[in-house]
Amino acid sequence: MVTKMDEQAKLEILKDILFPDDRGAVQDIAKRITLVEHIINDQKQLAEKVDPLVDEKISAFTKRIPDTLGPTITATLKKEIKNHKDEVVDALYPVLGKMVKKYVAQEIKMLSEKIDNQLGFLKRFKRKMRSWFGGPTEEQQLMRELSSATIEQVLLIERDTGILKASYSVTNTIDEEMISGMLTAIKSFVEDAFHKKNQNLELIQYELYNIHLQSFVTHYVAVVISGDYHLTSKNKLQDIIFNFYYNFMAMNLDLVFHSKDKEKQGKEVRTIDKDLLIKELEASFGNAKI
C-alpha cells in the first residue's frame, strides 16, 4: 500500500517536472469554454459577435446578385412576359393610357382656355343675336350649352367573341348580349376593313346618342351616352374607364384570365363572378358625372 502511494506521488512529481504548465492550460481552456458558452447563450453578446459577419456576407452577396442571379432573373422575367404578353399589356395599358391622356388633355385644356378667352365676347354676342332674331332665349341657350352628357349604359365585352361579361344600365334596353355581339361585329368590320393595325373604333354616333368604345387587350368597354358629348366629357369618361379597368380588371388578372392549358390540366380555374363585375360597374359608372 505504502509502495503504491509512493509510486503515485513519484508519478505526480515526474509529471510536474515534465509538463509544468499542463494544469494551468486545462484551467485556461475551461475558463474559455465557460466564456464561449456564456456568449452563445446571451443573444445580445452573440449578436455583437455574429452580426458584423452576417452583414458582411449579405453585403458581399448583394453586390454579387447582378452577376450570379441577374441572368436567371432576367431570363425568368423574359419568359413570363413572353408567355403572358396579353396580361402584362392589359395591366400596363390603363396606366400608360392615363399618363398619355393626362398630358394630352392638359395641353388641349391650355389651348382651349386660350381660345375661349379670345372667343368669349364673340360667343356672348352670338347668343344675344340669336335670341333677338327669334331663336331660344339667352338663358335657354346657356342651359343647353351647360347640359352635360349622361351615362345611359355600360357594357364590358370580351373583345374577340363579343360576349357580354357584365353590364350596367340606367333604363331597360333590348337584349344586351345581342348589342354586344353587333357592336363587336361593327368594330371588327371597321378595324379589319381599313387594314390599320393597332387602330380601334372609338365612337359610334346616332342622333341623340353616342357610344364610346374603349379597347383594351382582351376586353373593351362600351358606354352609351346621351346629351352633349364633348372633349371634356370624353376626358372624364376615359378617366372613369381607366380607373375601373386598372382598379378592378387589371388588378384581378388571375381571376379574369385563365389559360386553356390550366383547364386541360384539370386545375381549378377561377374567374370573376358576374354579379361582382356588375356591382363594380355600377359603383364606377353609376353616379359618375361626365
Partner 1 sequence: MQKSKKVVILGHFGVGKTSLIRRFVSNQFSDQYKVTIGVHISKKVVDLSDEDSVSLILWDLEGTDRLEQIREAYLLGTHGVIFVFDINRPSTFQNLKRDLETVKSKVQDRPTVVIGNKKDLVPEEEISSLLEEHDIPYDYLTSAKTGETVEEAFLHLASILHHDS
Rule CB under 8 A: which residues touch partner 1? 158-164, 175, 177-178, 181-182, 185, 188-189, 191-192
Work out how close the CB of 80 gets to partner 1 at its nearest, in angstroms, rounded to a whole number.
24
Contact 221, 154 (CB under 8 A): yes
CB-nearer residue toward partner 1: 139 or 175: 175
Work out how close the CB of 54 gets to partner 1 at its nearest, in angstroms, rounded to a whole number.
54
Work out how close the CB of 278 gets to partner 1 at its nearest, in angstroms, rounded to a whole number.
14
CB-nearer residue toward partner 1: 11 or 276: 276
Contact 244, 155 (CB under 8 A): no
Work out how close the CB of 198 gets to partner 1 at its nearest, in angstroms, rounded to a whole number.
14
Work out how close the CB of 179 gets to partner 1 at its nearest, in angstroms, rounded to a whole number.
9
Work out how close the CB of 195 gets to partner 1 at its nearest, in angstroms, rounded to a whole number.
11
Question: What's CA 222's distance to the chain center, in Å?
Answer: 22
Paired with 151 in beta bridges are: 225
Taking the C-alpha atoms of residue 182 and residue 189, their distance in angstroms, rounded to an integer, is 10
Contact 133, 156 (CB under 8 A): no
CB-nearer residue toward partner 1: 164 or 277: 164
Work out how close the CB of 58 gets to partner 1 at its nearest, in angstroms, rounded to a whole number.
50
Taking the C-alpha atoms of residue 41 and residue 164, their distance in angstroms, rounded to an integer, is 66
In one-letter notation, the amino acid at residue 45 is Q
Q: Which three cell numbers stand for residue 60?
A: 458581399
CB-nearer residue toward partner 1: 191 or 239: 191
Q: Across the chain, where does the E strand assignment appear?
A: 150-158, 164-169, 203-206, 209-215, 219-226
Work out how close the CB of 265 gets to partner 1 at its nearest, in angstroms, rounded to a whole number.
16
Residue 98 neighbours by CB distance under 10 Å: 16
Residue at grid coordinates 423574359: 78
CB-nearer residue toward partner 1: 23 or 274: 274
CB-nearer residue toward partner 1: 73 or 163: 163
> Dihedral of the CA atoms 144, 149, 152, 155 (nearest 10)?
160
CB-nearer residue toward partner 1: 38 or 262: 262
Q: Which three cell numbers stand for residue 136?
A: 331660344
Taking the C-alpha atoms of residue 231 and residue 216, their distance in angstroms, rounded to an integer, is 20
Nearest to 219, CA basis, from 281, 282, 263: 281
CB-nearer residue toward partner 1: 88 or 201: 201
